[in-house]
Amino acid sequence: MDIIGVVGGRSFKLLYPGIEISILQSFGEEQPAHFGAPNAMARPLKVEGFIGNTDEGGSCNVYELSMIPHCNGTHTETIEHIEKQAIFPFQCLNQPFYPGRVVTIPLTSDLELETYQGHGAGDVFITKKNLLKAGHWYSGFIEDGAVVIRTSPNLESKKTAKWDLTQPAPFFTEEAIQFLGELPFQHLIVDFPSLDRTHDEGRLKNHREFFKNPSRTVSEMAYVPDSAKDGNYFVSLQVPLLSLDAVPSRLVLYHAKEII
């Protein structure tokens, strides 16, 4: 089956297979975590006369899940994270595919004349300067669509990092998030745990800046493999029907081939 998307009056074909950019949630194995949160867990349901585990003699497998979406893997959040507005991820994602662009941005420990209130030694940043170097922000392909930011170096350890324990969690400078906030896209995907510094005394200034547009979403703790070269894609953002500020999500890229 061919799927054709039209962006700015130009037609593009979605190419299969898709490229998975969400992290598999493995229970009982290595998994990422943030903010000192415990690992996500899955355990058999146990009630009188029943155990939901066939290995323990149960008739079927029935598992109870325990997880913190913000901290236990790839997740998507809305303005509900910082303000009570009853705007949930499933309400902001009403298309099967969004036009989007993958952009690789190098991390730096130098603020390069930019700012972030409360930054400290050992912090690493995504700066406006490095965003501008990447270019292609005004190509038209991201309008009302998605931006996928892959940070460099693109370490496989992102898939299992205990962020700020095994490796530092990067975040945007204030100038970088202001720049992104002025662009016409709706959905931001990043491969680190938060737009803001892990411990910023609750200011969440970058979140507040980005969510000035309350219809936006942010997906965090993705992993964009090197096989997904920088460029234009269609992005599938899949979320469950849960009335939460953040939910586990599945994110898939599809190459966009222009039809001439």
CATH code of residue 115 = 3.50.30.50
Share of the chain above pLDDT 70, in %: 100
| DSSP-assigned letters across all residues of 157-169 | GGGT-BBTTTB--
**CA–CA gap between residue 142 and residue 154 (Å, rounded):** 23
Instruction: Kindly tell me if the per-residue pLDDT of 139 is higher than 80.
Output: no
CB-CB contact of 217 with 207 (8 Å): no
Strand partners, 126: 172
What is the number of residues in the chain? 260
Say if residue 1's pLDDT is above 80: no
- Strand 125-126 with 171-172, pairing: parallel
In a domain, 60, yes or no: no
Condensed to tens digits (0 to 9), the pLDDT of residues 198-235 reads 999 999 999 999 999 999 999 999 999 999 999 999 99
Q: Within a domain: residue 156?
A: yes
Residue by residue, DSSP assigns 18-74 as EEE-SPP--SSS---B-TTPPPPEEEE-EETTEES-GGGT-SS--EEEE--TTTSSS
Residue 51 domain-assigned?
A: no
Is residue 47 one of the residues assigned to a domain?
no
* 56 lies in some domain: no
In a domain, 79, yes or no: yes
Give me the pLDDT at residue 112, please.
Answer: 83
> How far is CA 99 from each of CA 61, 125, 128, 147, 191, rounded to the nearest angstrom?
39, 26, 23, 9, 19
What's the pLDDT score for residue 138? 77
- The residues with which 172 forms a beta bridge, in sequence order, are 126
Q: Classify residue 160: in a domain, yes or no.
A: yes
Mean pLDDT calculated for residue range 33-57: 96
Expressed as residue numbers, the domain containing 122 is: 4-39+68-258
Predicted local confidence at residue 56, as pLDDT: 95
Q: What is the DSSP secondary structure assignment for residue 215, as one 8-state letter?
A: T
Name the helix (H) or strand (E) containing 147.
Answer: strand 146-152
Q: For tokens 């599938």, name the residue.
A: 236
Confidence of residue 146 (pLDDT cuts 50, 70, 90): very high
Give the Cα separation of 134 and 74 in Å (integer).
Answer: 24
Q: How confident is the model at residue 51 (pLDDT cuts 50, 70, 90)?
A: very high
Query: What is the pLDDT confidence band of residue 159, given thresholds at 50, 70 and 90?
Result: very high
Does position 127 have pLDDT exceeding 80, yes or no?
yes
Residue-wise pLDDT for 58-113, tens only, equals 999 999 999 999 999 999 999 999 999 999 999 999 999 999 999 999 999 999 89
The structural domain count of the chain equals 1
Residue 260: its pLDDT value, please?
83
Q: Letter for the amino acid at 112?
A: E
81 dihedral zone (left: phi>0; alpha: psi -120 to 50; beta):
alpha
**How far, in Å, CA of 77 to CA of 82, rounded?**
10
At 140 the pLDDT is: 82
Q: Tell me how crowded residue 30 is: count the other CB atoms within 10 A of its CB.
A: 11
Contact 178, 127 (CB under 8 A): no
Q: Which residue has the tokens 């008739």?
A: 59
Does residue 120 sit within a domain? yes
Greatest extent of the chain over all pairs of C-alpha atoms, in Å = 65
